[in-house]
Structure 1
């Protein structure tokens, strides 16, 4: 009768449906000397669990703290703040003349000459681009003549 009960408990154990009390009963049965012959194969399994309970760890485990990463983070934040303040002070201490910055002229004749110079430069670059387009147009015409014949 006891063997059938142990077999049912083993079946429940391997399906993961046993309670802690039932697992203790199995451990007690397999640690005893009157284990059935056909159940001897499970004796080392439950014997291991009882041995594992008795083992203790004697060495200390050192846990790493995250304090050092926080220190580096605070140092980096301080450097960024100092650079920001330094850039602000540097740029605000060297004011640029508003007329220089905007390229404005107080004399109308100077403004007219500067405008003519800029337009001449623009016209020169546009004419260069038109010349390149004419070469492409000539190429397209030649290609069309060759492939239509």
Structure 2
């Protein structure tokens, strides 16, 4: 092969514009014994590609999934369930007012609420007077 042609193919190869046939020509050139000294630095790379192309994966590939993981998933689920039972704390029964407060405190609160309701009713009575005032005012304002 021409040395100039090989140099041009190497340039194309590093620019990633070679075809498969041109790359095969480069591999065959670098696998031979008559490699130019200034191109000898590229020979190990092309020889590696030739060797790598011949390598094959020979280990068997399992096509069926193994069922071992199902055993471990069930063991993990049981462990989580047991931990949940161990750390489970039931909620206490609801506390009634009689359990929390004395009878005097409950009666005092009832009196306070009665006083509040009485004062609230006085306020609503005042609103009734305000409503009557508004009606009479509107009578005078709408008469012309």
Ranked by relative contact order (alpha carbons within 8 Å, sequence separation 6 or more), the top structure is 2
TM-score, normalization: structure 1? 0.45
- More helix, by proportion: 1
